[in-house]
Amino acid sequence: MSSQQALRAALLSSLVVACSSQRPADTSAATAEAAVPSRSTSDGTPAASSAGSPGGAGSALGGSAAPGAGSSAASGAGSPVVPAAGSLAASGAEPRTALAEPTFDAIAGVLFADRASPSAAAASCPPSTPPDARVRCLFDLRYRGDAKAAGLAHELFVKWRVVAGVEVAHTMNGGYRGMIRLEPAVPTGAERKHLEWIVTAMRDFDDSFAALDRRAAGAEVSRSKRFRFEPITLRFMRSVAARTPSAYAHDWTVAWNLAGSLHRSADAVRETLFHEIFHLNDYAHPPPGGEAWSPSALGATFDAVVKKCGTSIACLGPYSPNDTIVRGGTYYSFQPGNGVREYAAELAVRYYREQRAELRGSKAESPTGRPPAGAARFKCGPPENARAWALMRDEFFGGVDVVPACGS
């Protein structure tokens, strides 16, 4: 990228990104300390949320995101759930049979996490009701007043065992941005669009991974090497007097801010959701003695690029998986304080974007509409890209890559 292009990219950029995620609880203890940055953005916030403090937004946001995560409501949903039947596509890091169905009480705990007694809230769906109808009754109750929203939330559960409920009210330490109050919120009425976007994104993941699986037919792909996008728990909330974080992830849970500045379109939502779910997968693939896959697998490559380029937008351009530039900073993937986990999440998004485009015979375009930061095919950029791409491909995508080889 020329310096003029870099300048234009910087000017075009309006996103400020920071996010927080935590390792899934079932991989190890000490969840609250395991906070890492993940993605969320705010348009109006100057500079990177994480710039001023190492670990910045990650530890700050993630660390205090724990109240919900550790609460009985969260852990009630904690046993991730599994569709009783379905395709083999992208079912996750574990065989589905290893994942328990959520109990009625666990589902009620997520849907009514804002109530002192979720079971009391669910009393009008009595045990005498047949099990499937009783679950449907819960969704109708939670999304009362908006039958379409109830139907979408129920569809998420039936198709992907995504339990879409609410976050527990708490105050998050937003680092330099101060404390951010997060309130539980139900996406009905004008906010139903979030459910629509998320259902669309889940269908997209389902279809794309099924297609990738077909391409891999005949190859022995270990289930442990698959990207898991379902089942997960979704917790809706709304930030008070802030538009950040747009989302954060922990414990196979994605918390989703109805006021989040990133959630502007179906395309943007798909990529944000993928980014967050990658963080969950990253922590589900730790090396021996480690916390997450990305620091050990990609750390050396990432560090070498940072050493070579620092924060220079022109220098980092060819290495950046995504085009997002932090206002007043540099590419989000290399923004100081974000670390290799954010680079990895953006690389995963780029991987998915390119596979998806190839499957559809379309161009791999970013939702921002800006041209790619580097080569059109990421792996055909500098050798560091090819290395990182191959590691990502083999660890999370069963070695499948439908993007044509470089030089072809």
**Angle at the Cα of 264 (from 162 to 111), degrees rounded to 5?**
30
> What is the helix (H) or strand (E) element at residue 354, kind and residue range?
helix 340-360
Residue 226 DSSP symbol: B
Residue 257 interacting with Zn ion (CB under 5 A):
no
Count the residues of the shown chain that bind Zn ion, applying the rule CB under 5 A: 4
- Does position 19 interact with Zn ion (CB under 5 A)? The reply is yes
Q: Which is nearer to Zn ion, 91 or 366 (CB)?
A: 366
Q: Which is nearer to Zn ion, 118 or 329 (CB)?
A: 329
Q: What letter does residue 26 receive in the DSSP assignment? A: G
Q: Give yes or no for residue 39 binding Zn ion (CB under 5 A).
A: yes
Kindly state the smallest distance separating residue 382's Cβ from Zn ion, in Å.
23
Structure tokens, 341: 């986990």
- Residue 322 Cβ vs Zn ion, minimum distance, rounded to whole Å: 11
Stretch that binds Zn ion, among 32-40, 189-197, 214-222, 300-308 (CB under 5 A): 32-40
Phi, psi of 7 (to 5 degrees): -65, -40
Query: Which listed range, 144-152, 206-214, 221-229, 344-352, lies at the site for Zn ion (CB under 5 A)?
Result: 344-352
Minimum Å distance from CB 32 to Zn ion?
17
Rounded to whole angstroms, the Cα distance separating 343 from 298 reads: 9
Residue nearest to Zn ion as judged by C-beta position: 38
CB of 79 to Zn ion, least distance (A): 25
The reply on whether position 350 binds Zn ion by CB under 5 A is no
Is the dihedral angle over the CA atoms 55, 56, 61, 63 positive or is it negative?
A: positive
Q: Among residues 38, 208, 233, 322, which is the contact residue for Zn ion, using CB under 5 A?
A: 38
Binding of residue 345 to Zn ion (CB under 5 A): yes
Q: In the window 63-122, what residues touch Zn ion (CB under 5 A)?
A: none
Question: Of the listed pieces 2-10, 39-47, 126-134, 203-211, which binds Zn ion according to CB under 5 A?
Answer: 39-47
DSSP characters over 76-114: HT-S----SS--STT--SS-GGGSPPPPHHHHHHHHTTT
3-class secondary-structure state, position 54 = coil
Identify which of residues 42 and 91 has a Cβ nearer to Zn ion in the complex: 42
Tokens read off for 220: 């022995």
**For Zn ion, which stretch binds (CB under 5 A), given 37-45, 131-139, 238-246, 386-394?**
37-45
Of 223, 272, 271, 281, the closest CA to residue 247 belongs to 272
Q: Which is nearer to Zn ion, 49 or 188 (CB)?
A: 49
Q: Applying CB under 5 A, does 16 fall inside the site for Zn ion? A: no
Give the residue from 201, 130, 129 showing the smallest Cα distance to 164: 201
Helix (H) or strand (E) holding 180: strand 179-184
Q: Residue numbers of the site for Zn ion (CB under 5 A)?
A: 19, 38-39, 345
